[in-house]
Amino acid sequence: MIKIARNDTDKAIFDIARRKNEDNISLSIVHFYSPGKERRYNGMSNYILELKDVVKTFGGVTALNGVHFQLKKGEIHALMGENGAGKSTFIKVITGVHQPDSGVMLLEGEKIVQRSTADSAKLGIAAIYQHVTAFPDLTVTENIFMGQELKNKAGLYKWKLMHQRAKELIEPLSKEIDVMKTMGSLSVAQQQLVEIAKALSRDARILIMDEPTASLTRTECEQLYQIAERLRDEGVSIIFITHKFEDMYRLASRVTVFRDAGYIGTWEVDKISNHKLITEMVNRELDQMYPPKTSKIGEVIFEVNHISKEGYFKDVSFKVRKGEILALTGLVGAGRTEVCQSIFGIMKIDSGYMELDKKKIEIKSPMDALGYGIGLLPEDRQLQGLINELPIYQNVSSASMGKFEKNSILDIGEEVKNAVELCKKIQLKAKGINASPSSLSGGNQQKVVFAKLLSCDLKVLIMDEPTKGIDVGAKYSIYEIMNGLASNGYAIIMVSSEMPEVLGMADHIAVMKSGRVTGSFNAKEATQEMILEASLRSHGKEE
């Protein structure tokens, strides 16, 4: 196989249908242009992309306030900042979704004006979003070629050729993805790889990755890292937007921070400390990443005894005490989420039993779980935790409507009053109680789901990845809420893939691997090495 680097093929016209020539030589990761779409670059700038003094407002609200940004050729550049810092608007300006009110954008030193996403695509700019914007019921091939379908002279689709080209684009990224499968049948990580292939099919020179690792396992993250590095080495410039320090350290050479819609600064990654970076992002000192614990741990309130579910987990046992935070952690395929869903009644266990207040209970549905005082904060707040079509106050009361009914009539006044009190308690930042959850930052959306749980009369809270996709400042706020709930006597089961979070928040840690508990530790005595060793152990039992 002959591999032609992307930056060696500028201004060339390739017929991808002739990739396999008479000598059976296969060309991969090449650029191909259509006549009349050749791009002009003067080659005089050190930066492939520059934004200078960019301002964007919406109805008097400033979303970007004099933002600067410089992206080098063949660079992975991290962009960090709290939710609401302006990162999303920044992406939309670069990709032509929004036009700036003022300021300039330069490509290879030349000023460009984009009126649409089509203009952005022609210039070689593509974005891959945290929530993949694909068509789940269409095949991988159909998603890759959406809007650029290949047709014969009669106007009919050339499916055989499109499948072949899709396969050639996907195989360098993953050999496990079948281009004939629907996007909805793929994992989140695989869908992101398809989006990368789609960008490459459009000859992207600048790739924006928006929180791409937020929903990925450690193994999937490492696969994405390797692909990003390979693309960088082939000349693609990448803007990597993330909340995770491990993403930045693993990939980026430079990091830029936005705060309150403004540009704060750019640093070499190896010359800025975590403490400095956090301070710049939140504009205040965070003396420690995790708030001090104030809860007093009481007696055992909830027990899981030898529960099993064929194909998911086997012989799982643990207990959680009043005021305690128990962390469930482990590597890919550990079965943590499935265990939590079974406790909440989403999945039915095959064997074993659970006890609440030392009494055996049977949970067949989420309504049963809520009736016993067990609540679940799901991993995907958008799909499973919120109803964006309803205002905040109705989201808060959606799991406890019976509390506000009098003679089968809903007391809206009491419903609103309850929501206002809970939102004040968790320090929700919103325009008003009638606002849609979709108008909130990720951290505040998560707070609405917390408020919904608090509206119910609960004893046990299951929190599946409670800080996923949330910036460092908002994480601290969520941690404070969790510690406050523990201090009020709630028993908390926290699923987390982040080792520092597990060690920083938990009182006790249960490690799972391949559906079994392989280790159990007091958090004060646990280390990352101990947890990792247990997560790799073939079998084990609780201590």
* Secondary structure (3-state) at 68: strand
**Going by C-beta distance under 8 Å and a sequence separation of 6 or more, which residues neighbour residue 533?**
519
Q: What are phi and psi of 207, to 5 degrees?
A: -120, 125
**Residue keyed to tokens 């300039």:** 104
Question: 3-state DSSP call for residue 89?
Answer: helix
Show the 3-state SS of 160-206: HHHHHHHHHHHCCCCCCCCCCCEHHHCCHHHHHHHHHHHHHHCCCCE
Please give the Cα distance from 254 to 276 (Å, whole number): 14
Q: Which residue has the tokens 């789609």?
A: 198
* Phi, psi for residue 168 in degrees, rounded to 5: -65, -30
Name the DSSP letter for residue 109: T
For residue 476, what pLDDT is reported? 85
Q: Distance between CA atoms of 446 and 49, rounded to whole angstroms?
A: 34
CA neighbours closer than 13 Å in the CB half-sphere of residue 528: 6
At residue 18, the pLDDT reads: 32
Rounded CA separation 277/236 (Å): 26
Q: Is 190 exposed, middle or buried (0-12, 13-18, 19+ CB in 10 A)?
A: buried
Nearest to 369 by CA among 310, 456, 293: 456
Q: Which of 202, 47, 50 minimizes the C-alpha distance to 124?
A: 202
Instruction: Decide: helix, strand or coil at residue 379.
Output: coil
* 207 strand-pairing partners: 126, 238
Say if residues 457 and 374 touch (Cβ distance below 8 Å).
Answer: no
Q: For residue 286, what pLDDT is reported?
A: 56
Q: Would you give the DSSP letter of residue 382? A: I
**Which residues lie below 8 Å from residue 404, measured CB to CB, with a gap of 6+?**
397, 410, 411, 412, 414, 415, 418
Cα separation, 347 vs 321, in Å, equals 24
Helix (H) or strand (E) holding 315: strand 313-321
pLDDT averaged per 10 residues in sequence order, the chain, 543 residues? 34 32 33 33 74 90 92 95 84 94 94 90 88 84 89 90 91 88 87 87 90 78 89 94 89 94 94 86 70 90 96 94 95 82 94 96 93 89 81 89 83 89 86 87 85 89 86 81 92 89 93 92 89 72 41
Question: What's the N-to-C CA distance of the chain in angstroms?
Answer: 53
pTM: 0.61
Question: Can you give the pLDDT at residue 102?
Answer: 95
- What is the rounded distance in angstroms from the CA atom of residue 302 to the CA atom of residue 355? 6
Q: What is the pLDDT of residue 539?
A: 55
From start to end of 152-232, where are the E strands? 206-210
Q: Which residue blocks in 234-285 are alpha helix, DSSP H? A: 245-251, 274-282
Q: What is the pLDDT of residue 35?
A: 30
Q: Determine the Cα–Cα distance for residues 186 and 195; give it in Å rounded to an integer.
A: 12
One-letter amino acid at 343 equals I
Distance of alpha carbon 301 from alpha carbon 297, whole angstroms: 11
Angle between the 159-170 and 188-201 helix axes, to the nearest 10 degrees?
110
The tokens for 387 are 């109803």
